[in-house]
Structure 1
């Protein structure tokens, strides 16, 4: 019986010992797996990068306006048609509104009548005033009443003059003139047609300035800060193969579009020969440039793209740290990154997912360029 108890006790001790050895072996193996051999690294620096972005744009007329009738009227005369080149101030169309003629005649008649009334009241006041210079001949009340009538008649006269000026100005609305020099690109009415003013009315003409065009592009958020005013831009159009046109960035919106999440950039394009037409979709080649003052640049091999995100691997106090980053523009085997990084940080040159976060550097750390 005692021998049996000794055997059980011995077996138990052996099993416990084997278990402890197994745990120690597993931990040792885990520590070995978390150690990495010698690696190549570099010190993080700031640089300026350049790259070329190819993007579709749109050509628009530099100035464009739809010309509407200013009052309800009939089209009496059209002086231009589609394709007509016009100068600023040129008469494009003449409208007719018979009721405006009648209104002006009525105001003119009332004005003539009021002028006669005012002249009479003024003459009366002048006579009373001269007579009142002799004491006791004219009461002060009569003189004041005559002056009040004269002033009232004068006020009505001025009001009618203003009405006549307004009527003449309204007649000026019957003449449609070009607000700037350009080309008539559409005509929507014919002589004799009735045209209305206000919301819902159709335009008489569309006028465009085409000697200078706007080239409009939208730069994605990731590259929005890489464009500078005055930067050169080259583009081509399908209708003129083999010819490269040039322009410069003239206007930056300074904000991202809520829908496209992109910044609107406008370039002015000289078009004296009218080779280019509004509505064309050019292919734009845009040189992107990062600022060397705020961009960390690393080799492409130092960037780890995994299912968890985009990282660089930093070595600090003998251990590896996965640092999440965002990428900027790239040029060849170099790419700009942004994240919780500092100048002169030590980064591993060639990274893989086998280099785990928090691994211990077992071998030598070789610092290169």
Structure 2
């Protein structure tokens, strides 16, 4: 059963307490009752874009199990509203909640292209792939207005530097001209996140994301233009989308994807509270079942922070999911592989053009 009595267009249905703050903010029942009587809105549910001014844009990734060494994020917070998003907790570092604030208060780094260019010109820097969206989606709705991601791609192309992209938005096709130019020198790879083939599931898990049809079309267009695509089946959630592994793998392989990757959902930090509140309001008939099965994957807890096991889980349910993914890879990707990005060109383009001497 699906419950419609929820905040429309949002994943989280509440603002959790920021663990770094002594004080907390809450909407009291008497205030909500007053607003109802007065015909006023207690919460206007509007998105705010707030400019921030970081001194650097490239982050060194020290976690050994995330598959990247360096990342950059043009935006903090994400309007996509994916209920399971691990990045929600990072919004607390900025003084906001991991809940609704994460989806409605988007921090914008307009100076990102300049900071990136400064970094790539460092004499001490040796080219390694930099991942755009190690935290939040670089093609989220804010990008339509600010175009920061497009500006950064121009910088990567200018300096012939390898870049990888993680997104679930078809807006990436707007920049097909730059992606094709990067692909000529093997400087680009794209990771498209597709968590379900069901639009109903997509809408409740990821309320402001591109449709599944559009995402599959995006995989095909990129692949047809010789841009290598990996599809992230992530996260896989028991009794919500875990049964879709094989049909998902088949669909993305037929669309041209060269590989798939997956994680099993883990609800770290404030996300546990956000997810529990969401599922009891959204899928009340199966809430307890799903929560217990997630716990079964993580030693009786909703979260596991141990490197090596946190992404794959453990126990019988996790084993079944992981075995399904192995079967899917063997069945649909046996003769496919993602190429390595080219790190050999950047050094001679440090000044923005090929050195002649």
Instruction: Give the TM interval when normalised to the shorter protein.
Output: under 0.3
Structure with the bigger RCO (C-alpha within 8 Å, sep 6+) is 1
Higher strand share goes to which structure?
A: 1
What is the TM-score of this pair, normalised by structure 1? Answer: 0.17
Max Rg structure: 1
TM-score normalised over the length of structure 2: 0.17
- Return the structure number with greater helix share: 2
